[in-house]
Amino acid sequence: MATLTIRNVDTAVKERLRIRAARHGQSMEAELRSIVNQALALDEERTAPNLAEAIRRRFAPLGGVDLEPHPPVPIGDPPSFDR
């Protein structure tokens, strides 16, 4: 695992981190790991590629296609596996 060092942290921020870590019952280091992981997970969700959305954006300027609805198909009885 990698080690990160954060310098020049405001005293008030450090104190708020200490209180937050204590509220969650963990060290300040563990609390920082949790905060960074959550922030990056949210960032990844927002920027995660969505194939359907990418296709929609690519073809939206060309206009849509109106398709006729598929006719309802009756569902038969389930197969019997009895001999």
Residues 11-54 pLDDT 10s: 999 999 999 999 999 999 999 999 999 998 887 777 767 888 88
Whole-number Å distance between alpha carbons of 42 and 51: 19
CA distance linking residue 23 with residue 17, whole number of Å: 10
Q: Tell me the residue type at 66.
A: D
* pLDDT range class, residue 78, cuts 50, 70, 90: confident
Domain positions in the chain:
11-58
Secondary structure of residue 34 in the 3-state scheme: helix
Give the length of the chain. Answer: 83
CA dist list (Å): 61 to 29, 65, 77: 49, 12, 45
- Check: pTM over 0.85? Answer yes or no: no
